[in-house]
Amino acid sequence: MVGRSEAGIRLLKRVLFGLGVALVSVQALAQAGDDGNCIASSVQPEAIDLDQPRDQLARQSDLVIPEGARIGRIRIVRRPIFDTSEPEQDNVLFRTLNTLNTPTWKSALRAQLVFDQGDSYEPGLIAESERILRRREYLTAAWVGVTRICGDEVEVSVLARDTWTLLPSFGASRSGGENTTNAGLSDPNFLGSGKSLGVSYTSDPDRTETSLDFDDPNVLGSHWQTGFSYDERSDGRGRSAYLERPFYSEQSGWRAGLRGVDDVREESRFVGAEAIADYRRNHEYASVDWGWRLAERGDRQLRLLGGYRYEAFAFERLPDEPALDVLPEDRTLSYPWIGFDYRQNRFREMVNLTRLQRVEDVRDGFVWRTELGYSSPGLGATEDRVVLNMSFSDALLASDTRYARYTLSQSGTYRLDESRVENLQGTFSLDYFHGGSVRWNSWYTNLSFTAARNLTADQQLLIGGDNGLRGYPSEYQQGNRRALWTLERRYFPDWHPFSLFRMGGVLFTDVGRAWFDDGRHNGPDNGVLKDVGFGLRLASSRIEVQRMLHLDFAFPLDGDDSIDQVQVLLRGRTRF
C-alpha cells in the first residue's frame, strides 16, 4: 500500500514537472512572438553622451509611432555621477564619490513625468517631461524618448545622470565694493529622494543670517509641492511656508496654493551711494490662490486665475540712527483678485545660451499675465486701492544661431483716497543672443529701461555694481528712471578638464544711469556711467551644476574720485 502511494506521488511529480515545462515553453514562444513584432530604435539611452549637449539634441528617435499608440512601458535608466568605464574617470576619487552618492530614486524620477504607463502617446508630453527633468538641481542632464515599439504600444526610456549634491559650502564674494561670506551644508537631492534640505550662514554688509530650508517638489509622489524656510538674523527674522499644486504641465487642468511670510529686517535708505540711515521693516504676507485651464487652441492656452492676498508693511525708527527725512508710512493691502494667463506653449532646445555646454529650453512664444484686485478697509486694509499687475514676454526670433526676446512688466496701486498712483513701476527689457548654439563663442546684449512714479520711502530705484554696472559701487545712483545697456562677447571652449569642470570667458561693457525726471540729485556723478572689463566663468559638470562662479574685473570710465580704478567681483550665479 505504501509502495503504491509512493509510486503515485512520483507520477504526480512527473505530471506537474511536465506541465511546468510546457507552461514555460508556451511563455517563451509567446515572448519570442512578441519580440518578433517589436521594433527597437537605433537610438538607445546607453549610447548617448551626456557630456556633449549637441549629441543629446541629435539623438532623436527614428521610429514611426503608429496612430493611437499607448505607453506600454516606462524604462528608467540612471547614470552615476562618473562613468568609471572611461579610463580618464576611473580613479579612486571618482569611484569613491559614486559609492558615497545615493542614486536618485526611480520613483522620484518617475514622479517628475507628466505621462504614465497606459496613457496615450503624446509627443508634447515626452518633450515636456524632458524639460522638467533638465530643470532639477540634482541632475546634470536628462533625455526622454521612444526606444521600442511593440504593436500599438511604445516603450519610453528616461535617461538621467546624477550630480553630487551633498555639498558643504564655504565662500566669499565681492560685488559693488562690498564683501559677502557664507558657509553651509545643503543637499537638493536628500538621500536620493529629490527633496531639498539645507542650512547656511551668511554675512554681508547689511546683516548676518542663519537659515534652514526645505522643499519637496512631489509630496508623497504626487504633483503637490511644499516647503518652508526659517531664518534668524542679526537684525530680525524670517519665516515662510507654502503648499501648492501648480500647473505642473501644460496639460494640467487646475492649480491651487497657500503661502505665508513673516519677515523682519533692517533696511537702509541710500543717497549718493551712501546709506544715510537705517530703519526696521516688518513684512507680513498671506495668500490663497487658484487657477483653471479654460481653453486651448493649437499651442495657445488660456487660464483663469484668482485668489486673495493680505500684505502688511510696518516701519519704525531705530535708536542711535540719524533721523530720516521721511519714514515710510505703514500700509496694509487686503484684497481679492482675478486675472488671466494667456500663453503660447512652444519651446526650442539650445546650447551655450546662458549655461556652459548644457542643453537649455527656451520659450519660442509669448506669455501674458494680468491681475486686478481691490483692497478695502472693510477687509483690513489701510485705505481703498486698486491693484494692477501685468507682464508680457515674447520671443522675437529663435533659430539655431539666434534668439531674441523682450519683456514688458508693470506693477503698482491706485489710491482712491488721494486719487493718485503709488509705487507704480514699468520695465521694458530686450535680450539678444547670437552664435552660441553652433559655435564656441557668441554675442549677447541686453537693453532695459524702468520708469517709476510716486515711490514710497522704502522703495528706491538704484543702479550700481549689484544690478548691472559692474565698474561701480552698489547703489551708486538713484532716481525714478533707470536705463542700462550691456554688450558681451562670450567664449564657450569645449574644454572639459578632469571630466569635472567647464570654463568660459567674457569681454563686456556696461552703460547706464539712474536719474530723477525732475532734476533732483541722483548721486556723486549724475551723468551716464560706463565701464569695460573681462571675466572668467567656472562651472562643474558633476558637482552643484546649477551654480556658476563669476570672476569679473571691471574698469569704470566715469564717476567721482572715491571709486576704485578697478572693481573685482567674485560671485556665485546660476547663469553666464
Query: What secondary structure, in 3-state letters, does 169-219 show?
Result: EEEEEEECCEEEEEEEEEECCHHHCCCEEEEEEEECCCCEEEEEEEEECCH
**According to the model, what pLDDT value does residue 271 have?**
67
Element (H or E) spanning 146, and its range?
strand 139-150
Which CATH number does the domain 38-162 belong to among 3.40.50.300, 3.10.20.30, 3.40.1710.10, 3.10.20.310? Answer: 3.10.20.310
**According to the model, what pLDDT value does residue 9 have?**
40
- DSSP states of 91-143: SHHHHHHHHHS-PPPHHHHHHH-S--TTSBP-HHHHHHHHHHHHT-TTEEEEE
**According to the model, what pLDDT value does residue 378 have?**
95
Tell me what percent of the residues of the chain surpass a pLDDT of 90: 55
Biggest CA pair distance of the chain: 119
How far apart CA 526 and CA 520 sit, in angstroms, is 10
**According to the model, what pLDDT value does residue 32 have?**
36
**According to the model, what pLDDT value does residue 27 have?**
37
Decide: residue 249, CB within 10 A, 0-12 exposed, 13-18 middle, 19+ buried: middle
**Topology (CATH) of 167-245:** Pantoate--beta-alanine Ligase; Chain: A,domain 2 (3.30.1300)
How far apart CA 263 and CA 482 sit, in angstroms, is 28
Question: Among the listed ranges 12-16, 83-87, 343-347, which one has the minimum average pLDDT value?
Answer: 12-16
Candidates 224, 257, 259; CA nearest to 241 is 259
pLDDT band (50, 70, 90) for residue 223: very high
**Intrachain domains 38-162 and 167-245 with the same fold:** no
pLDDT at 19 over 60: no
- DSSP states of 502-556: EEEEEEEEEEEEEE-TT----SSS-S-EEEEEEEEEEEESSBSTT-EEEEEEEEE
How far apart CA 381 and CA 440 sit, in angstroms, is 55
Q: Are 311 and 332 contacting, i.e. CB atoms less than 8 angstroms apart?
A: yes
**According to the model, what pLDDT value does residue 547 have?**
81
How far apart CA 377 and CA 380 sit, in angstroms, is 5
pLDDT at 237 over 80: yes
pLDDT in tens, 138-193: 898 999 999 999 999 999 999 999 988 877 766 565 555 567 777 888 888 998 99
Q: Are 495 and 509 contacting, i.e. CB atoms less than 8 angstroms apart?
A: no
How far apart CA 523 and CA 299 sit, in angstroms, is 48
Q: How many CB atoms lie within 10 A of CB 214?
A: 15
pLDDT band (50, 70, 90) for residue 413: very high
Q: Are 390 and 410 contacting, i.e. CB atoms less than 8 angstroms apart?
A: yes
pLDDT band (50, 70, 90) for residue 268: confident
Domain ranges in the chain are 38-162, 167-245
- Whether the CA torsion 259, 260, 263, 268 is positive or negative: it is positive
pLDDT band (50, 70, 90) for residue 10: very low
pLDDT band (50, 70, 90) for residue 309: very high
How far apart CA 87 and CA 200 sit, in angstroms, is 37
Q: How many CB atoms lie within 10 A of CB 75?
A: 13
For residues 277 and 448, the model is more confident at 448
